[in-house]
Amino acid sequence: MTGMPAIRGRAWSPCLTSVKLAIYDTFATTSHAPTVSGIARQLNAAIEDVQSAFDELHKQRLLVPEPGDPTRIRMAPPFSGVETPFRVTVRDKLYYAPCAWDSLGIPAALHADGVIQTTDGHTGEPIMLVVRNGAPVPEPCVIHIAVPAAHWWDDIIYT
């Protein structure tokens, strides 16, 4: 990011856009969460500029830092940086999604078919969802969202 302006509070500077794209590209290509230092190396950018971009992306609700460590990513929806009960396979690559909604968000973001393996939230019965030809194959199931929309980001890790 040499030669690019620092963020300094502006919402969508070239730096912020570059960091956002690098985070999502890393998730998409490796299925793992990048860190501030990893993105800084990738973009040849200053650590403090990338950290500022992480903080801004959190404000914009595009990523959630690991609790207690703002240099790491817990989730950049629809991708999770940690293992979850929502396993999503796309093009032979295994991803984890933070929740049921985001599990479908991964094939939607990657514009690809995919398979979601999860369990009934109460009984633990395995449930497999298939996205084929751009739409989910019908499967008996429902999604329950326990928190109203106005409070989703009060504790997004729980939501």
Partner 1 sequence: MLLFRSEETVGEWCSARGLAKRPLVSLDQVWVMAREWYGNRLTVDSRRPGPDEMVEIFARIGLTGPFWDPKSGR
| Residues contributing to the site for partner 1 (CB under 8 A) | 17, 20-21, 24-25, 28, 60-62, 77-78, 86, 99-111, 118-123, 125, 127, 129, 131, 135-136, 138-150, 152, 159
User: Which CB, 73 or 131, lies closer to partner 1?
Assistant: 131
Nearer to partner 1, 47 or 151 (CB): 151
Nearest-approach distance from CB 87 to partner 1, in angstroms: 12
In our burial notation (b when 16+ CB lie closer than 10 A, e otherwise), range 49-78 reads: bbbbbbebbeeeebbbbbeeeebbbbbbbb
Q: Is 68 or 111 the residue whose CB approaches partner 1 more closely?
A: 111
**Residue placing its CB nearer to partner 1 in the complex, 68 or 158:** 158
Q: Closest distance between partner 1 and the C-beta of residue 40, in Å?
A: 20
97 contacts: CB under 8 Å, gap ≥ 6: 78, 79, 80, 84, 86, 88, 103, 105, 106, 116
Q: What angle do CA 58, 106, 96 make, to 5 degrees?
A: 80
C-beta of 139: minimal distance to partner 1 in Å?
A: 6
| DSSP category for residue 82 | S
